[in-house]
Structure 1
């Protein structure tokens, strides 16, 4: 066997993800609030980076048309109100309720086990083990912590939660106790069986059920506020003389300022020249990257607004089909860039505040030349359910037939999928709820 050496030359292209390229991609996904936090963290490490904080002026929202609560979410109005957290609300009461340090520590163990709904998320045995107390002491402490306001906190079940509230409102009659002991029958809308179990007439039962509806099954949920509902939008749409105008929300948009004067002062020391050059280069790159991020967001937002002019004029029912690829080709960027830009971004419009991702939907075939978007059809499904007769709710087949007769071809399974996305119960569940409500 003969061995020999050969040498070959070739060319190939490859994309190398440098650290700066990865940072630039991450900047596209940041909201204005997150961008400010990112720039502040960079300023702590780079002496030549300063944050130009946004002005304190609140954004000027466009005139809002009269829409239902489901179509409009006033982000800025809700952001102005900051309610205390569930933990802080209960902890403040514990400070007044428990005098001895030991009781306060044990109560803290119960507080650590509370869920956002207000219920206990751990068994009483686990809490007793963690607090190093007996089960009898745990039972006594549970009765004490359940006295906090609002009533129903620290419950271990739905029946216990509602019983605590009924007792607090002096509503715990024998019939009410019977109802709360037979909640499965109430959930199944078995009013006749529930009436027999409570030993009362149907009229008496209906009067008590009205009182049950006044109780809150999740008393802790009133203290929950999501991040999306509190932060201000990133883009603003307004109506101008020549059409719709899109602008960045300058009231929350930070900017990068490079301190060139400080760099010139430091460079007089020759030993620091290399460090200064590196940090100054990074500071200038960060400024360019933030400016490029703002420009890209503005271009993508403007293209979305241009395509969704009918929505801005008439509402969600007029959202036209649009994909990430359509916007990417119009703006001249990659499809993945549009996906990153629209993730988590909010835009305030005359129809309310929406995420940019809301406007992307696939096309459905119609009898006419223009296709309908899946977002508009979902809105139509929601509207049909809202306007239906509660005693005779529309089935998925009936909704599909109505929309098909209107010109958009829709299958029953598609209606079921849209209904689940909108968190709309089935026709059977809606009929049962209507029966209980009446």
Structure 2
């Protein structure tokens, strides 16, 4: 075999993703709050760039084919963003209650271990045996201290399982009869909706059993969750849809939209000639970011306006009027690439008369129709399935096959049973068997 060196000359084209191009792509995916954080970070590194805070001024809008301007600069209810005072945490509440108990120093240390084992649900996350070993005491003494801790309000804290949690609450409310205790001892039978078996075990009639089931539904299986369930502030929308006298309009939410301020005056004040190169580079970055943010705003408006134009029926009639739409339709209509539309829709919220939605939720597949009318969208069909199940009889829940047949007969849309099951799962609705079981437990049958 003979080896030799050779030099080959050729040409090829490739796309180089520069740092600025990466930033421009990231800007398209940002909501207003993320955009503000990004500009703040850039301003910390660039002395000639400042964050322009949102102002309550009349927003610039991208006019739809038939729109009218509406008055009013208050485009977001700031009071709605304020979260209520969550109050003390579960640990703080339980610690304060333990401090009120007349415990010895050794028992306080043991109670501290029980506090450390407290789960957000209010249950113990460790066994009493393990806690007793850590404290260096016998299990019987640990159980004695636990009994005292279980008297803390709300009833059910420091329970070791669901049955004990409900038992503590039932005793606190005076509901713990022998029959009720046997019901709590057989919760697996209740989960399986074995009402006849529970009648035999509890030695009660069906009416008495249903009365106990109503009582058990009034108890809280996770008493500790009320302490740590602080509501998160609602994120304001990035686009706002309003109706004028002649049509719909789309505005940027200027009350939360930041801007880039380029400090040309600060650059002119610098008299050091050796810094000219640095100043020119920093000013160039600031001006580019200002243009990129404005391009992001305009692209967002174009996408939002085209989505609203195509989904006018939804704005008027709700989810049942949602029409099928794909990314390519919007991209072709406004003259951008499909990936650009996808990035814009990823992080944008739009406020409409029907509620606030992620912009990406307006895109759904088309489902075939046998009536010759316009095909239905997957979103509208999911809404239809939810309405059918909400209106069903509790003793005769609709199966997936029945739902598919109803939609075919009434709406002319062909659905397979597995498609109905998939949409039902997306709506977090249980199967007909599980719904029938829950109706039996809830006394609706």
TM-score using structure 1 length: 0.85
Per the alignment, in what secondary structure is the counterpart of residue 245 of structure 1?
Answer: strand
Indicate which of 223, 237, 252 corresponds to 2:241: 237
Matching residue of 2:325: 322
CA offset digits 1:312-364 (Å, max 9, x no partner): 00010111001112212222222222222112322111111111121111001
Please state how far the C-alpha of 1:147 moved relative to its aligned partner.
Answer: 4.8
**Retained in 2: the 8 A contact 1:116–1:224?**
no
CA 1:30–1:146 in 2, change beyond 3 Å: closer, same or farther? farther
Matching residue of 1:94: 95
Matching residue of 2:354: 351
**Retained in 2: the 8 A contact 1:400–1:415?**
yes
Q: Which moved more, 1:13-22 or 1:40-49?
A: 40-49
CA 1:149–1:16 in 2, change beyond 3 Å: closer, same or farther? farther
Tell me the C-alpha RMSD between the 2 structures: 3.2
Q: Unpaired segments of 5 or more residues in structure 2?
A: 60-75
Inter-partner Cα distance in structure 2 for 1:396 and 1:330: 38
Please state how far the C-alpha of 1:285 moved relative to its aligned partner.
Answer: 2.0
Indicate which of 418, 426, 432 corresponds to 1:427: 432
Superposition pairs for residues 28-427 of structure 1, below 5 Å? 28-55=28-55, 79-84=81-86, 88-95=89-96, 97-98=98-99, 114-121=118-125, 134=137, 136=139, 139=143, 142-143=146-147, 146-222=150-226, 223-224=228-229, 230-265=234-269, 267-367=270-370, 368-406=372-410, 407-427=412-432
**Retained in 1: the 8 A contact 2:83–2:231?**
no
Q: Which moved more, 1:330-339 or 1:401-410?
A: 330-339
Q: Unpaired segments of 5 or more residues in structure 1?
A: 60-73
Please state how far the C-alpha of 1:120 moved relative to its aligned partner.
Answer: 4.3
Q: Which protein has the larger Cα radius of gyration, Structure 1 or Structure 2? A: 2
CA 1:43–1:123 in 2, change beyond 3 Å: closer, same or farther? farther
Inter-partner Cα distance in structure 2 for 1:147 and 1:325: 62
- Aligned pairs, how many? 420
Indicate which of 419, 434, 442 corresponds to 1:437: 442
Inter-partner Cα distance in structure 2 for 1:211 and 1:219: 16
TM-score using structure 2 length: 0.84
**Retained in 1: the 8 A contact 2:84–2:231?**
no
CA 1:308–1:148 in 2, change beyond 3 Å: closer, same or farther? farther
CA 1:47–1:313 in 2, change beyond 3 Å: closer, same or farther? same
CA 1:389–1:320 in 2, change beyond 3 Å: closer, same or farther? same
Matching residue of 1:66: none
Inter-partner Cα distance in structure 1 for 2:129 and 2:282: 57
**Retained in 2: the 8 A contact 1:94–1:107?**
no
